[in-house]
């Protein structure tokens, strides 16, 4: 399903933040006379929202799953970007680790090397290359804790919830469950409330969760670009740049920073793979999305290349 270009801000945590972070520190970067921007025309990045529990609540063996998984391609000369959202439960081969949900790729790689980000990012890249035929230049993942901090920093967001939303078993950070309820109509959300709002899917599945992610991130975009916040945005982005783990590299960050002013909401296209997946279970009884792999790689490659839209 191809979505509105304005909905690109679903990926703000995973992709836009490292780009804006580089942009906000461009003067410091340019001050390094030995650093030159990479010669980039296109740049393919995998963005994600990393399900990592806060310090003190992380237990030995807790997974770091990519709760949001997006493949995006930026064309720097024209300031355009096209991005495909991949369902986190889509079942595929994770090279070196067998078959599993794509959400598990980062965790498999990271844990193989003592929790190292580079090993996790390499596993994500290998998984995307093996299954989608797409070679990514970089990986950027944002933590849930960082998302909460960012929403609180802009003093919360206001959204119009399209219908009553209830979840009797929303998972908590301490491995328990809780009830959550959001009434239909205008609501104000602080950081933690916004995180729960965009993560719950027991009532309406992945389609509903994607819709709510769009609502919150568009509300955040509106807030941060309002007269009261726009001047503070570079400092806010720089302050929270460390909530994003990435392997973009200094010279490529500089190239992205120099190109950032060319990008706009209107220059972005966004799609997802929901039309190509269906509910299934593994032989061990695990619920998954199976995919139509005769269509998924071709669609994804064509969309990112601009041939489908």
Q: What is the pLDDT of residues 186-224, one digit of tens each?
A: 999 999 999 899 889 899 988 888 778 777 766 776 676
What pTM was computed for the model? Answer: 0.78
Half-sphere exposure of 127 toward its Cβ, with a 13 Å CA cutoff?
A: 32
The residue from 165, 190, 223 where one domain ends is 223
Domain-embedded: residue 60: yes
Confidence band, pLDDT 50/70/90 cuts, at residue 286: very high
Domain-embedded: residue 237: no
Please determine, for residue 308, whether its predicted confidence score (pLDDT) is greater than 70.
Answer: no
Rg (CA), the chain: 19
Containing domain of residue 212, as a range? 147-223
Q: Looking at the structure, tell me whether residues 27 and 176 fall in a common domain.
A: no
Domain-embedded: residue 198: yes
Which pLDDT score, from 0 to 100, does residue 152 have?
85
| Domains of the chain: total | 2
Half-sphere exposure of 44 toward its Cβ, with a 13 Å CA cutoff?
A: 17
- CATH of residue 280: 3.30.420.590
Q: Looking at the structure, tell me whether residues 129 and 158 fall in a common domain.
A: no
Q: Looking at the structure, tell me whether residues 124 and 152 fall in a common domain.
A: no
* Residue 50 and residue 139 in contact, taking contact as beta carbons nearer than 8 Å: no
- CATH of residue 179: 3.40.630.190
Q: Among residues 193, 178, 210, 110, which one has the least CA distance to residue 144?
A: 193
Q: Looking at the structure, tell me whether residues 13 and 133 fall in a common domain.
A: yes
When pLDDT is averaged across residues 227-243 and rounded to a whole number, the result is 62
Q: Which residue has the tokens 């819709």?
A: 211
Confidence band, pLDDT 50/70/90 cuts, at residue 56: low
């Amino acid at each position: 399903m191809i979505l509105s270009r304005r909905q690109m801000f679903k990926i703000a945590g995973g992709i836009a933040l490292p780009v804006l972070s580089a942009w906000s520190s461009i003067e410091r970067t340019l001050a390094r006379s030995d650093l030159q921007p990479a010669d980039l025309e296109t740049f393919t990045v995998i963005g994600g929202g990393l399900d990592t529990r806060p310090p003190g609540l992380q237990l030995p063996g807790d997974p770091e799953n990519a709760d949001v998984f997006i493949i995006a391609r930026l064309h720097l000369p024209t300031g355009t970007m096209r991005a495909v959202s991949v369902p986190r439960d889509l079942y595929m081969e994770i090279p070196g680790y067998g078959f599993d949900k794509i959400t598990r790729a980062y965790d498999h790689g990271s844990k193989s090397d003592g929790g190292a980000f580079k090993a996790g990012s390499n596993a994500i890249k290998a998984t995307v290359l093996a299954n989608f035929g797409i070679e990514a230049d970089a990986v950027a993942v944002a933590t849930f804790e960082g998302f909460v901090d960012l929403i609180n920093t802009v003093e919360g967001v206001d959204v119009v919830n399209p219908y009553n939303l209830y979840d009797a078993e929303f998972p908590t950070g301490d491995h328990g469950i809780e009830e959550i309820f959001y009434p239909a109509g205008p609501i104000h959300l602080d950081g933690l409330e916004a995180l729960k709002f965009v993560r719950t899917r027991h009532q309406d599945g992945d389609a509903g969760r994607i819709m709510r992610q769009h609502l919150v991130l568009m509300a955040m975009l509106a807030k941060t670009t309002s007269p009261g916040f726009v001047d503070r945005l570079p400092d806010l982005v720089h302050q929270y740049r460390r909530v994003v783990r990435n392997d973009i590299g200094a010279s490529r960050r500089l190239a992205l920073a120099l190109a950032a002013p060319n990008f706009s909401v209107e220059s972005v296209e966004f799609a997802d793979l929901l039309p190509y997946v269906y509910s299934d279970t593994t032989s061990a009884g695990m619920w998954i999305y199976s995919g139509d792999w005769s269509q998924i790689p071709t669609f994804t490659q064509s969309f990112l290349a601009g041939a489908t839209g």
